[in-house]
Structure 1
Amino acid sequence: MNPFGREARTRRRSGLTALALTCAIILSGCGVRLESPPPTEPVPDAAEVVRRTAVADALLVAEQAEAAAAADGVKADISAELTVISEVAIAQAEQLGGEYDSGLGDILSERSGASPSASTPEQTPRAVVTSLRDAAARTRAAADQAQLGPLGRLLASISTSQTQYARSLAQLTGTKGPALPPTRIPEPAEPGDAGETAAALASAGAGPVAIPTGLSAEELSALVLAEDSAGYALEVRAAQADGSVRTQAYERAKLHRGRAQAWALVAGIDGTDQDPRRVAYAVPDTPTTDLARDLESDLAQNYATLVGIAEQGTRAILVALLTEATLAGAQWGAPAIPFPGLPERA
């Protein structure tokens, strides 16, 4: 073997290595380097999409209401209501977790040279009613379909609040208020005709036909008892009152008694030993209006709790009854609150 040939090859390899290192240093100094993949926004799951949509709706309402409240020519009572609506919407967005910002939006815009959209929604009291009405409908549907029960419960409460504020602002501005969700409690189908019964009710426009699933017998029994005892208490007060209080108490008593019967049928306990209804109940010694407000508030809490327990896709009637009980309490003088049915967020 020629030792001089081996030394020559070693010198050539060393020379090539040095040349490669020199080129790498020169190229790095000139700013030439391999490009890494551009950053991308993480893909949200279904629950995150629902949450972001509800937050966006709340923040839009807050922005519109704040601007409309400060606009020239807006009456003082309307301005005051708009200010409250803006504050409530911000609180709701915060309870939902706030607006998500990964920080990548600005980076991607800078790289692409694109500018963010600068479209400004209409900022009038009537536009706020429309935004509240639309947000309430979307949030109500999301509450029914949310995969997570606690999120569904929060969305149901926010939808109820949006509906209530939309109604009050619509009355102040002479605008069309939101359509209320149907509150007809579905009847349990006879074995073998569940599909026919659901189809018939749907074609007749009878409202939601899904019976809540995922609720225990004890939970349904407690609901039957709550509705029936509320009906009894208002029957007693209707008999003791006169005028509009008597009429209102009687109508609500009849409604609650009917709902107790409907839920007893759903639970399958009507006329059985498990039926919790009694002949009479103790009635608190408080003024009728205070009693009625407390009864409706308690029922709203019951329905909100069950929304968080029932399976997705079967909560619509519970959400609707949460809204209805809250609006009924308002008719007895209960103030609007940001989170109806959720006392822990008061």
Structure 2
Amino acid sequence: MTTPDAARSTRTDVAGVTSARLGAALLAALVALVLAGCGLRPETPPPVEPSPDAVEQVRGRTVADALEIADAATSAAAGADVDDELRALLEQVAQVADQHAEQLGGTYDSGLPRPEVTPTSARAAVLATPADVLGMLGEAADEALRDADALEDGALARLVGSVAVSRADLGARLADALEVDSPAPVPADEQTVPETVAPESAAPLARAHDEAGFAFEVVAAHLTGKQRAAAREAAQRARTLGAAWATAAGIADGPQDPRLAAYALPVGLDDDAVLDQLERTVLGGVADAYAAALAREPAGGRVAYLDGLLRAVTDARAAGAAAAAFPGLPEQAEAAAS
């Protein structure tokens, strides 16, 4: 049985607890009002960088490699023991690498505060030799080729594949200038064609290779000796690949077969310069067709197309073509010319 004194004690304890809680609540409310009036808020965790997905990782990595190559090439070009020809090539490497980084969207900026860049990590502080640049081109080309094959984003795969082949091409040119072997990837000895290919990808390749074969046959007719034999061999190889792509798509010799009996030719074929330009033009068409297929084909199924693009650019270089920042991407060349 509860006595009157015990009951009064219990009520007093409850009232004390209630008063204490009420006082704490009032104090918290007062503090919140004061902070709000001063424009202050209770401390919250700082924002963090969002985690990049697989596509952003590839894009960011390709940009970072491009900027590193540009820095290294710029540094190497300033070397005292670099002659004018090598300096011009290194400067071209730097310019192309900067174009790659820009077209890929540049370095990602989340808007969050970043640590201040110290002089030792600034771009201007990079010191490199031509051999360093060559090694970087080879490694970055290999990595970009793998990324281009694995990407789920077809449009980005096309761009990264073009960047990879550009790096390989520049690496081959720099290796020639240094009179060393290039570490950059080279095309396979024998081009392969998948057993089955969608007509959307295969038809342009069948047409481009067949047109190249026709052009090389015309070139061979204007040459003699070993040059004629080499042109005939190139023509046969191109015709064979054209037929292989048409067959893989199931359109060979049918109404959808895009190959023609003859193709337009430039005037002045008695001029060696015109013949050389004809070779470069048709090889450029082959490169465009392979690059276009990169955007259509699924991740993991682009190796044959990347190799074809690399082969077309390699053959064009042998025919005297200048280095292109974005081989196989005619819209980029048009934008640069405008």
**Which one has a bigger Cα radius of gyration?**
2
Name the residue aligned to 2:191. 184
Q: CA deviation at 1:187?
A: 4.8
List gaps (5 residues or longer) in structure 1: 1-8, 189-210
The AA in structure 1 aligned to 2:193 is P
The one of 306, 318, 334 equivalent to 1:331 is 318
Separation in structure 1 between the aligned mates of residue 296 and residue 126 of structure 2, nearest angstrom: 37
Count of matched residue pairs: 305
Separation in structure 1 between the aligned mates of residue 28 and residue 208 of structure 2, nearest angstrom: 82
CA contact (8 A) 1:126 1:175 kept: no
Name the residue aligned to 1:202. none
Residues 187/154 of structure 1: CA separation in 2 closer, same or farther (3 Å cut)? closer
* Superposition TM-score, scaled by structure 1 size: 0.77
Give runs of aligned pairs for residues 260-299 of structure 1, distance below 5 A: 260-270=242-252, 272=254, 274-285=256-267, 286=269, 287-299=274-286
Separation in structure 1 between the aligned mates of residue 156 and residue 200 of structure 2, nearest angstrom: 23
Separation in structure 1 between the aligned mates of residue 55 and residue 226 of structure 2, nearest angstrom: 45
Deviations 1:166-223 (A, max 9, x none): 00001111232123143522352xxxxxxxxxxxxxxxxxxxxxx6x5x3x2542332
Name the residue aligned to 1:312. 299
Give the 3-state SS of the residue equivalent to 1:308 in structure 2: helix
Residues 41/128 of structure 1: CA separation in 2 closer, same or farther (3 Å cut)? same
Separation in structure 1 between the aligned mates of residue 186 and residue 295 of structure 2, nearest angstrom: 21
Name the residue aligned to 1:152. 157
List gaps (5 residues or longer) in structure 2: 1-14, 334-338
Name the residue aligned to 1:247. 229
The one of 126, 129, 132 equivalent to 1:127 is 132
* Superposition TM-score, scaled by structure 2 size: 0.79
The AA in structure 2 aligned to 1:166 is G
The AA in structure 2 aligned to 1:185 is T
Question: Is residue 2:331 matched to residue 1:344?
Answer: yes
Q: CA deviation at 1:35?
A: 3.3
Residues 271/62 of structure 1: CA separation in 2 closer, same or farther (3 Å cut)? same
Name the residue aligned to 1:100. 108
Q: CA deviation at 1:276?
A: 4.1
Q: CA deviation at 1:251?
A: 2.5
Q: CA deviation at 1:115?
A: 8.6
Question: Pairwise CA RMSD of aligned residues?
Answer: 3.4
The AA in structure 1 aligned to 2:91 is T
CA contact (8 A) 2:154 2:294 kept: yes
Name the residue aligned to 2:239. 257
The AA in structure 1 aligned to 2:99 is A
Separation in structure 2 between the aligned mates of residue 239 and residue 273 of structure 1, nearest angstrom: 30
Deviates more, 1:57-66 or 1:320-329: 320-329
Separation in structure 2 between the aligned mates of residue 33 and residue 341 of structure 1, nearest angstrom: 55
Separation in structure 1 between the aligned mates of residue 307 and residue 29 of structure 2, nearest angstrom: 74
